[in-house]
Amino acid sequence: MVFRWFKNRRRKILLAKPAPPEWESWLKEDLPFFQRLSRDEQWQLLDMARIFMEEKYWEPREGLELTDRIKLSIAAQACLLILHIEHDYYKRVGSIFVYPYTLMDTDRHDGLPPGVSIHGVASQDGPIALAWDAVRGGAMNPDDGHNVVFHEFAHALDFLDHSADGTPPLASREQLDNWIRVMTDHYDDLREDRCSVLRQYGATNPAEFFAVATEAFFEKPRSMQRKLPELYELLMRYFRQNPAKWSD
């Protein structure tokens, strides 16, 4: 209780100071989805991003100059997922490692799997590693269903119950049963190549399916709503957002 009181007090002190005036401009320039949010949501997301930036340990890798603009872009994308759900800023994620470029199969990096090309990595109780070129490219193309920050932080939500099974903590047994049914049906469809909305990488396992579905929910919402209405409804209830109406 005492720790929580100090944490909340520290957050209030941080938010009592205005954000640098250029930060909102950066969000509008770097994150096209930001313009689609309501004005109240924009302010809320900026405040959440500020807390996220302050409370995480950030480490640049491979000579990257890690600026506030880079951190703000990553933080705001991560916080979009939790904008309307109960959260504690991804409490199981303590560190963010940011590389300047996509890691190629000849690279070897601490904590990252060798022999693969990757845009990002999330692990239970470990750091999230992101390649800035992939982060920037995914953010600037908000309608292709591919966003590495959404993907890796969907994994972080999944890990909150100490299990990488594609099922984040849910409020009730009824919600859990419905989640398992809907996710399993659509996961099987993707494995059988009967889905044109989600990236095929989601067929790797249930954890990757949830991450890929999260990307599509925020980046291809109208297509998902039209072609996969039950999955869209499930994620809309979980995230408490309806991105299909952002551009209305």
Residues 21-60 pLDDT 10s: 999 999 999 999 999 999 999 999 999 999 999 999 999 9
Can you give the pLDDT at residue 115?
54
Instruction: Please tell me the pTM assigned to this model.
Output: 0.93
| Tokens standing for residue 140 | 């600037």
Question: Across-strand partners of 120?
Answer: 130
* Cβ–Cβ under 8 Å, residues 125 and 135: no
Confidence of residue 103 (pLDDT cuts 50, 70, 90): confident
Q: Which CATH architecture has domain 2-161?
A: Orthogonal Bundle (1.10)
- In eight-state DSSP terms, residue 170 is -
Confidence of residue 222 (pLDDT cuts 50, 70, 90): very high
Question: Across-strand partners of 57?
Answer: 95
| Tokens standing for residue 160 | 């909150």
pLDDT in tens, 52-101: 999 999 999 999 999 999 999 999 999 999 999 999 999 899 999 999 99
Question: Does 104 have pLDDT greater than 80?
Answer: no
CA distance 7 to 131: 30
- Domain residue spans in the chain? 2-161, 173-245
Confidence of residue 200 (pLDDT cuts 50, 70, 90): very high
Can you give the pLDDT at residue 116?
55
Can you give the pLDDT at residue 12?
93
CA distance 36 to 42: 9
Q: State the average pLDDT over residues 190-209.
A: 93
Share of the chain above pLDDT 90, in %: 81
- The residue assigned the tokens 């109780």 is 125
CA distance 118 to 110: 14
Q: How many CB atoms lie within 10 A of CB 99?
A: 25
Question: Across-strand partners of 96?
Answer: 58, 128
Can you give the pLDDT at residue 160?
94
Q: State the average pLDDT over residues 96-115.
A: 67
Q: State the average pLDDT over residues 108-121.
A: 62
Confidence of residue 145 (pLDDT cuts 50, 70, 90): very high
Share of the chain above pLDDT 70, in %: 92
Can you give the pLDDT at residue 112?
47
Q: State the average pLDDT over residues 104-124.
A: 64
* Cβ–Cβ under 8 Å, residues 209 and 203: yes
